[in-house]
Chains A and B, each alone.
Chain A
């Protein structure tokens, strides 16, 4: 697969905004890794793009912005699909842009769009994370040993918050080569004085016997209840199910997408833009519960969340 290099020039005429160039570079160099972090950076880049936009006097803002976004997005994606949750965000943003009235001023239009982006990050990401931490904390109270895999900022925040609230638990961090992201989680948990152990994913069958709960992150939840997560997650979920241990998936509602897929397709389509890791599917029957900011749900309730959040396309 040919990777787009930084020296590739964008399509003729339209200049790519430096914020997007920086975003792509940072993602490719793995400075930003998890989907939640990428999403926040993506929104920040978009905000800069909108703020630096100059509306021509003869065109309506909504149509103009819409046309300008296309080359920016195709630069970022470089022919690959956008990660599902970010694709969702872009669809909603485009709807918001189209909703701008034809006669709105540049000031007002920019204000509206940046407000929407700010609200998205605040409500759907930051506050959602807090709500998910609270819901998960109640389940952590009964489970004295928790197993988690690799690094997910939401899982990290949940564990740290629960520990601060006085819940007592031990964390088993599983990790895999070559990225060894689990070490990042291990570092922050140890700094907070949480009792941890560390193992490679090959030792999952041994470690699962000590655990009472498995907590995983994900990058998308499909409408049939299947989850998209980093490679290795479904292995952990399968072993947990065999050992009769409940599997909890932390997923804010912005990650719910109106798409159905039951297996990870071939090599090419499992690569997405911006996200450097390869993803895989976790089947719905391996997931005991999905923790969202609305409530704890069974994976089969994914369509209900899509309806509630009007994410159905």
Chain B
């Protein structure tokens, strides 16, 4: 007899963003993200409260994958940021914070969602076309004839992850290693298409960071006993290798639901082993020198192979198998050391990000100025543009100039607040009126002061305070100015310690943040299926 139960009605909530609890949780999430941002960001201890391992991190990928958010609005946000991070590795926190800022600022001005979305799209396209244009004042073309720019890029990424616990020298060491590992993955002879190789990160926990190193090729672990047996290797010509991803341990396939019935006296194990030994004989007749198996090799087969002077290495794992299967490509091993587990995990993630960013930079050979300067510069550019060219922007949108001014202010302050989130110790945040770069000063600086004495360098490190500049507090009301475009080549060439950001990741982060904010701001109903 079946019982029918009446379906529960779905729950429908209107105007989800006006809900106080949603605002509060968004605020908590934003707090977690902004406090983690940048080189002096605060770390978070993630654990399950039941004695599971503790992860100390400030990276978006680790944070977001461990945060279990329940509200649909937060889910939209975290999912799109995670998606961005899985594709481009870098700029996850930038994307998430910008998105939160946009939602918060735009909600405050109370415009119609349709207007907001239209104008946001306009502003976004202004941003992207400026960043991609030749006269962009915060973008540097990468000069591949020297390692300087790439090294600055890598160093900026490594230095922005405080949970790696690296000293200055260690940052330099690791950055150089990452760059060297990347260069080893570039094949020497390419015909028409460049296919990059792979860097495999090999853990060496508990050792000193400066013991980390890069080796060309693949590092396979084997027991000392086995190693002593095969050394010294006398063979001079290339090794013949057989690669198995299936288990050679001699166990039976899963019978599923069925049962196998065997006569007594018949040993299935021996039957399987006989098959394995047949395989061994085949390998002998094929003159194989090295047998590598992803899983386990039966001890008897191993013994058989070794009596025929073959080297058998088993349990190499899936990750290494993939690399081994394309061993003819350029592959290198990055042996990574750090003092404790949590710092090692963070360092590994950082290296992966940096290697990915280098790949992206090869595809699109540009970098953006980091340390908050791109954000403030872009905000200044947009403010100036909408102020002076509002007609062309508003062409056939049906929006008013007031709406444009309101939204521009919300949009630009959202960008500027992202830059401001780099400051965690109460310092004053300023911008200069010539380049629109980002500057910080010590807290409670007097209002009348000789700024050049108090300030040292802008966030990205390109300009010093000794130039003839005027500064204003970033929070105070803005009168628009045209930031200097077209970065002079000489200025960039001479600066050797710039903070730089990945162009592709930042540009995509900007787009994802605006699109996600648009999506969230456009939500009128949340319908929850309660069944």
Q: Do A and B come from one complex?
A: no
